[in-house]
Amino acid sequence: MSEVRIAAEPRTEFGKGAARRTRRAGKVPAVLYGHGTDPQHITLPGHELMLALKTANVLLTIEGLGKGTELALPKDVQRDPIKGFLEHVDLILVRRGEKVSVEIAVNVVGDVVSGARVEQPVVQIAVEAEATHIPESAEVSVEGLEIGAQILAKDVKLPSGVTLTLDEETLIAQVVDATLSAGDTEGEATEDEAAEGEGGEDEAAEGEQAQAEGESAE
């Protein structure tokens, strides 16, 4: 996993006005918390932080707080919805050897058979890993798979020491007919459900008719 050293400064001004001044100075307001300690309000250099956050679950070595270095993971990142610049970041303290719960990307690799395509309803999975050994992603291969094949969470191969915390039966990807759109496949499922419902109604009607005939015979 990626580890980035970054210098922090204590933050003593709060509120929207103070936050705007901090961002105009090229810095980002942040809060560092965890392990039962009081939250530390800090600022981080905006450009360096933006580059670091391009890597999912980046491990930050925070310097400049007077207590030596601290290790932290991004917990919540707030961005401007239009311009995309960083507005505020929550960081959670971690220790080497400590297990943490995170989400990692799942990348589908390989080619399915001709006439098929891959649908991937889940692009991230929840795992538990050692704080300093979080994998950036996991891969699943669909090489040569035919229409109807499915890949579940339990099929994703994870590095040693990383465990799945998501329901292992969660559908990650499936191979479908390339000539059908997503709407077509959903439509087929809806029609099947409707047919099952009609079948149940027919059976109920037959049961009611049989009951009426039995009562007439009595």
Q: pLDDT per position in the chain (218 positions), as tens?
A: 678 999 999 988 888 888 888 888 999 999 999 998 899 999 999 999 999 999 989 999 999 887 789 999 999 999 988 888 899 999 999 999 999 999 999 999 999 999 999 999 999 999 999 999 999 899 999 999 999 999 999 999 999 999 999 999 999 999 999 998 766 555 544 454 455 555 555 555 555 554 545 444 44
Q: What is the pLDDT of residue 218?
A: 45
Other C-beta atoms closer than 10 Å to the C-beta of 167 total: 12
pLDDT at 190: 47
What is the reported pLDDT for 206? 54
DSSP H or E stretch at residue 210: helix 182-217
Q: What is the pTM of this model?
A: 0.73
CA 124 to chain centroid: 4
Tokens 């401007």 — which residue?
Answer: 80
Grouping H, G, I as helix, E, B as strand and the rest as coil, residue 201 is: helix
Report the alpha-carbon distance of residue 82 to residue 102 in Å, rounded: 27
End-to-end CA distance of the chain: 79
What the block records as the tokens of 63 is 């310097």
The C-alpha atoms of residue 102 and residue 81 are separated, in whole angstroms, by 24
Q: Give the integer Cα–Cα distance in Å for 64 and 7.
A: 6
**Which phi and psi (to 5°) does residue 170 adopt?**
-65, 135
